[in-house]
Amino acid sequence: MEINNQLFYDNKTEINILRHLLQNPALTFKLEQYSEQIFYSVVNQQVYTALKDVYRHHNALDMILIKDYLKKNKNEIPDGYVEKIVQSKAGKNFEKHMELLLDLYWKREINKIASEIDYTSNASDIKQSILNGLNNVEMGIEEESIAEVLFKTSNDLLTGTVEKGIPTGFSDIDYQLLGLNKGELITIAARSGVGKTTLALNMFTHQVFNGVKAIYFSLEMPKSAVIQKMLSIKGKISTGKMRQRNFTEEEVLRISNITGYLADKDFNIFDKNSKLAYITSKIREEHLKGKCEIAYIDLINRVTTSKRTGSRAEEIGTMTRELKQLAMELEIPIVILAQINRGAEHRDNKRPLLSDLKESGSIEEDSDVVIGVYRNLKTCDKNTDVEVDYSDDDPDKNPERVELILLKSRYTGGAVLLKEYSGDICTIKDLVM
């Protein structure tokens, strides 16, 4: 199929971008991650490369430096072309022009992929071919040099700029971790029934309601059940009422308002497939569509691979390594929920330890952050003689208290964060002190 990429080319937009760079050289750093391929015109590609290289070596842009560069490098730039760019009229909104430039670039790449599709193949192969093609585009991104990273890092440190990740909704966690950060694999670990899903859903719900584009893989309950828990969390309506459909008029109104609000948010829930290949493919697909800033996988112990090799621990290790690599590649945090081994059951102190993950592949090695969740389940059992004291903040005595233990993080480790737990409304929240 013949490719006609001229349909996705606007010289005025390309000239606008180049003029903005010449007028404000500092903008060059905004474009360091992009290759010259985001421009369609070969001449504009070469001008862009010249501006980047000159600014990279001289930390300045002027016509003398640019002309000297062009003389030393063979190119197809006509005499006086750069001067014409300087004299041209450019729109004021750089970000708008940049968005259009990238949009046109993407359309050209998609057009190219479409032209190479073998339509005699089955639909599944065609879909995979498209996804592979899109994954290879990578937004025209090129590797940053060490010098570029060094300069940016130094500049951030000296100017006091602190890059924060996606907030969790828990003030102390966000303080300790600076949010959930790009490229990180975050593990929430606990015994069954303690509250790791509740914690993850509270984070997910908070993020969705605050405009974060998030996706959730639920391998233990259907999509409808996840939505129901989100409504329970945000509406502060008991899960019992949800099951019985026994609502007051005020609760009906609350559910309706929350539903309408959620309908306008960019999030998705997947519950049909536990294969690792499907999960990673969906994360890539949603990210390419601009709809995935963070991904949750509940629960990693339920995920399977297409080929079983070695032990289950080795299989989980393969999964976590692949998910860590995916997080780094897409520059998003990926949160996985993990079941700890039964070692904790035989200890007097049943709080989770990092060593409890040792038999679960290399989760503890591949994870940047591990959050252990502890709650004394015996306080919920009416058939035990465990002392229950709702006025005590000790989770061993109070079933409405839960501990979040930062078992591993790049910033701090061992911190114990006390939270209020309510299984009735599927909620873990900061204590009001």
At 339-354, the pLDDT tens digits run: 887 666 777 787 888 8
pLDDT at 279: 92
What is the Cα–Cα distance from 76 to 44, expressed in whole angstroms?
10
Q: For residue range 65-96, what is the model confidence (pLDDT) as tens digits?
A: 888 888 787 677 888 888 888 887 766 777 78
Examine the domain organization and report whether 230 and 300 are in the same domain: yes
Choose the final residue of a domain: 118, 152, 186: 152
Domain count, the chain: 2
Q: How confident is the model at residue 213 (pLDDT cuts 50, 70, 90)?
A: very high
Q: Tell me if 162 is assigned to some domain.
A: no
pLDDT at 3: 52
Examine the domain organization and report whether 177 and 288 are in the same domain: yes
For 10, the token pair is: 């606007």
Examine the domain organization and report whether 245 and 101 are in the same domain: no
β-pairing verdict for 294-298 and 334-339: parallel
- Mean pLDDT value of segment 147-156: 65
Contacts of 431 (CB under 8 A, 6+ apart): 393, 418, 419, 420
Examine the domain organization and report whether 112 and 180 are in the same domain: no
Asked whether 320 and 186 are in contact (CB, 8 A), the reply is no
Q: For residue range 274-310, what is the model confidence (pLDDT) as tens digits?
A: 888 889 988 988 887 888 999 999 988 888 887 666 7
Examine the domain organization and report whether 320 and 407 are in the same domain: yes
pLDDT at 26: 67
1 pLDDT higher than 50: no
Asked whether 42 and 158 are in contact (CB, 8 A), the reply is no
- Which of 90-99, 325-334, 361-370, 387-396: highest mean pLDDT? 325-334
Strands (E), 246-368: 267-270, 294-298, 334-339
- Side chain identity at residue 124, one-letter code: S
What is the Cα–Cα distance from 151 to 159, expressed in whole angstroms?
12
Domain that residue 11 falls in? 5-152
194 against 208, higher pLDDT = 208
Find the largest Cα–Cα distance for the chain.
90
- Which of 57-61, 68-72, 336-340: highest mean pLDDT? 336-340
Task: Give percent above pLDDT 70 in the chain.
Answer: 81
Examine the domain organization and report whether 366 and 273 are in the same domain: yes
What is the Cα–Cα distance from 32 to 90, expressed in whole angstroms?
21
What is the Cα–Cα distance from 47 to 41, expressed in whole angstroms?
10
Looking up tokens 């005499």 gives 79
382 pLDDT higher than 70: no
Examine the domain organization and report whether 219 and 352 are in the same domain: yes
What is the Cα–Cα distance from 188 to 200, expressed in whole angstroms?
8
Question: Could you write out the three-class secondary structure of 228-269?
Answer: HHHHHHHHCCCHHHHHHCCCCHHHHHHHHHHHHHHHCCCEEE
Rg (CA), the chain: 26
Q: Tell me if 165 is assigned to some domain.
A: no
Mean pLDDT of the chain: 82
What is the Cα–Cα distance from 242 to 234, expressed in whole angstroms?
13
What is the Cα–Cα distance from 342 to 340, expressed in whole angstroms?
7
CATH code of residue 125:
1.10.860.10
Which pairs count as long-range contacts for 143-150, CB under 8 Å and 24+ apart, including other chains? 144/32, 144/33, 145/56, 147/56, 148/32, 148/56
Q: How confident is the model at residue 212 (pLDDT cuts 50, 70, 90)?
A: very high
402 against 309, higher pLDDT = 402
Coil, helix or strand for 367?
coil
Asked whether 407 and 363 are in contact (CB, 8 A), the reply is no
